[in-house]
């Protein structure tokens, strides 16, 4: 599977402009041979949790969902987009959705680990772990931003059979170690490909860090962006993932029956 990652600047609360950016990215990605486009966290409405919660409506979210599905269909490309989700209990979640090239929903995920005071006061944390779906010859899971910094999240996706973990993110400057250290480490230790798509530029007063990255299942980098707007491309091959798992069999050599006992003894 050929994947593309969008790294760009979203316009806060300008859903039409952000969908236009997604449209152009989908067009370019398809022209360059990509089967799937991954876009950043809350890119459809811009990353500013307080403003988003105060101003985005259910009608806006319907516009986002319909717009994203139309983009996938028009350009015949699978798409991961991120937007708020409102439950029937009126809880707000940061969510991500994987669509196929027909615009049909294959997978959805709510962010479990909320980062910082602003996210924590405006959104509710999800509680369901990642699941996986077979698409394009791969088992695919979703995580969002801060989730991927916890080894438990990526390992949970791997245990669901994931080979490719797609991660929309909104990471500010000053955290370069996430792209440089943690993403390759998460990929290596759980033997999955991790694709991590970030914003760049300034949104809602926050300077975004860019440095989107795709890490292979052996921890090597398949693609790495700088700080400015760009599109990243990478080829994700099941054979390469299988080879990494055979060369150093972390998953096969785990001893989970011991880890459960260790956790019990520590009281955690």
Tell me if residue 200 is catalytic: no
Catalytic, out of 30, 45, 111, 200: 111
Helices 15-31 + 58-75 axis angle, to 10? 20
Catalytic status, residue 111: yes
18 C-beta neighbours (distance < 10 Å), count? 25
Catalytic residue status for 11 = no
Q: Give the active site residue among 30, 45, 145, 149.
A: 145
In whole angstroms, give the CA distance from residue 229 to residue 199. 8
CB 77 within 8 A of CB 85: no
Query: Of the residues 30, 41, 119, 211, which is catalytic?
Result: 41
Catalytic residues, which ones? 41, 111, 145
């Amino acid at each position: 599977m050929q994947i593309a990652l969008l790294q760009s600047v979203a316009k806060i609360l300008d859903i039409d402009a952000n969908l236009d950016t997604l449209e152009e990215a989908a067009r370019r990605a398809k022209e360059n041979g990509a089967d799937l486009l991954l876009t950043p966290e809350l890119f459809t409405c811009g990353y500013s949790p307080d403003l988003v919660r105060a101003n985005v409506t259910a009608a806006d979210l319907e516009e986002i969902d319909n717009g994203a599905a139309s983009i996938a269909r028009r350009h015949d490309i699978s798409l991961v987009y991120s937007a708020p989700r409102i439950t029937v209990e009126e809880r707000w979640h940061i969510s991500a959705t994987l669509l196929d090239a027909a615009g049909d929903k294959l997978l959805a995920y709510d962010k479990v680990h909320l980062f910082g005071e602003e996210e924590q006061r405006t959104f509710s944390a999800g509680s369901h772990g990642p699941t996986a779906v077979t698409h394009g010859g791969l088992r695919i899971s979703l995580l969002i931003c801060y989730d991927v910094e916890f080894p438990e999240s990526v390992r949970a996706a791997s245990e669901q059979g994931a080979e490719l973990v797609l991660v929309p993110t909104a990471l500010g400057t000053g955290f370069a170690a996430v792209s440089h250290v943690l993403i390759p480490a998460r990929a290596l230790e759980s033997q999955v490909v991790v694709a991590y798509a970030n914003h760049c530029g300034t949104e809602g007063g926050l300077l975004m860090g860019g440095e989107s990255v795709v890490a292979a299942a052996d921890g090597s980098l398949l693609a790495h962006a700088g700080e400015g707007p760009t599109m990243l491309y990478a080829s994700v091959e099941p054979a390469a993932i299988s080879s990494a798992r055979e060369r150093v069999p972390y998953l096969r050599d785990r001893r989970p029956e011991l880890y459960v006992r260790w956790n019990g003894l520590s009281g955690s």
